[in-house]
Amino acid sequence: MAKYRKLGRTSDQRKALLRNQVTMLLYRGRIVTTETKAKEVRKIAEGLIASAVREKDNFENVTVTAKVPRKDADGKRVKEVVDGKKKTVYDEVQKQIKKDSPSRLHARRQMLKVFYPVKEVPEKGAGRKKNTKYVDMVEKMFSEIAPKYVNRNGGYTRIVKIGPRRGDAAMMVVLELV
């Protein structure tokens, strides 16, 4: 028996379809698709959620010293003349950063292999490039989705049948996060 369904597509088309549907499921929380596609998407999504739950708190906060260029009131870098050349003036700043453990870093990279970039466009400025921003799906997995499922051992998604599609009578379902 095969390990996965081919969905009547070539491998590159199938991978693109599944990546897109997994990304949209985890971004929006629910998608409407056919039953066979939903079963394939469910496998991938549940694996990603499980790894996010496992690695949710696997990091440490570290204080680092960073050199940051000094800026004036206009936001431009401050320069001073040293030996006849203009050089930027730097200040040392203490910053708190999250340092991933190796296993969390691996989980993050595995998620990045699956997720497509998600661009969020506000309704007010639809059709304009201004105010659009990219959503960090991996960070959303660790900070929003994983904490919801900490006390749950699998079964993060639900498939609800909504009836046959009008054109070809394929069974349509709603795939949603529980």
What is the tens place of the pLDDT at every residue in 120-143?
888 776 667 777 889 999 999 999
Alpha carbon distances (Å) from 178 to 42, 78, 92, 141: 12, 53, 46, 15
Distance of alpha carbon 31 from alpha carbon 48, whole angstroms: 17
b or e along 20-49 (b: 16 or more beta carbons within 10 Å of the residue's beta carbon)? ebbbbbbeeeebebbeebbebbbebbeebb
Q: What is the pLDDT of residues 77-115, one digit of tens each?
A: 999 988 889 999 999 999 999 999 999 999 999 999 999
Model confidence, pTM: 0.83
Q: Would you say the C-alpha torsion 45, 114, 117, 150 has a positive or negative sign?
A: positive
**Superfamily, domain 11-58+102-177:** Ribosomal protein L17 (3.90.1030.10)
Looking at the chain, which residues constitute the CATH 3.90.1030.10 domain(s)?
Answer: 11-58+102-177
